[in-house]
Amino acid sequence: MQENNDQEIENEDLYEHHKFAASIGQEPLRVDKFLMNFIENATRNKIQQAAKNGNILVNEIPVKQNHKVKPNDVVRVLLSHPPAEQLLIAEDLPIDIVYEDDAVIVVNKKAGMVVHPGHGNYSGTLVNGLIHHIENLPTNSNERPGLVHRIDKDTSGLLVVAKTESALANLSKQFFDRTTERLYYALVWGNIDEDEGRIEGNIGRSLKNRLQMDVFPEGDFGKHAVTHFKVIDRFMYVTLVQCKLETGRTHQIRAHFKHIGHTLFNDERYGGNDILKGTTFTKYKQFVQNCFKTLPRQALHAKTLGFTHPTTGEFMRFNSEVPEDITACLEKWRTYTVNSKEDF
């Protein structure tokens, strides 16, 4: 008992860097492998060193690297220094501000910019730029200044940030109540049969690859998620769709479209960087590789954002232009489609 008390006292001087709860479907897995699945850019060596130092806890008990994680276990990684995201540094970064007043700021995020600091990305994020632009941004429940929602690193487009505590609370409630408007443009592999449709299926962390989200249509895991889509254009082996989010889960559009067999074009994490549709001709393969070079990320853009202004009560809607890398890729597909039809 004394040993546990000593350990607890020792842990008081440590900072929590990561905390993960194993799902109910978790198969027994070594804790070092479990954490490798969860933490981007982590190395097995660093994780094993943390275990050796007694810094990995399962259900509040320090464990060795070969400890097996079981369903519902809570795994924490504690280290002697605070996480880098707690040491936020203001940086003078170029931010495309679409709108700003005393309560809110609407930003058009470029692809490649991480929204907030996290493991492996401690500088150059949107938050680093925002705290340079605005002093005393309110923090959300995750200690992330001003953030009401986020978009993935390689997704471009619109994001609203709160400048005051009351705006943060108001906007957070709008996102929770699903009264905001969010429209995305996505280029997906394959020809979608329907002109419009609805994808419904719980989204949660994949049980096979923890860096991916997966769809659980039975509803036994994950959180309820709904995506509405409308076809904008068709180009032989890819389709341009407009997506309307009813819910806002992590990787929602990416996971939902992979689930229905239409993975996002060049979405490396979900396998969209392979040639999933088309011919076996060398010329075609070369054409697709050229498209990948033109658009070196997933083809996803947060085009429209609408919300009720937290102070005035006015509904505001913002639109952003589809970025050059996506439009250039679409133009290539448009030309390819026209030329292919002429060949027949």
How many CB atoms lie under 10 A from the CB of residue 27? 11
How many CB atoms lie under 10 A from the CB of residue 101? 13
Residues 66 and 28: beta-carbon distance below 8 Å: no
Answer yes or no: 195 catalytic. no
The conformation of residue 131, written as its DSSP 8-state character, comes to H
How far CA 245 is from CA of 132, 217, 220, in Å, comes to 31, 17, 22
Residues 307 and 293: beta-carbon distance below 8 Å: no
- The CA distance from 307 to 180, in Å, is 5
**HSE-up of residue 243 (Cα within 13 Å, Cβ side):** 28
- The CA distance from 153 to 165, in Å, is 26
Residue with tokens 């993935």: 152
3-state secondary structure of 77: strand
Q: First and final CA of the chain: distance in angstroms?
A: 80
What size, in residues, is the chain? 344
Pick from 317, 191, 301: nearest CA to 253: 301
Dihedral sign (CA 152, 284, 276, 344): positive
Considering 32, 73, 152, 325, which one is annotated as catalytic?
Answer: 152
Dihedral sign (CA 143, 166, 115, 225): positive
Pick from 203, 294, 303, 211: nearest CA to 257: 203
Residue with tokens 């994808």: 199
Positions marked catalytic: 152
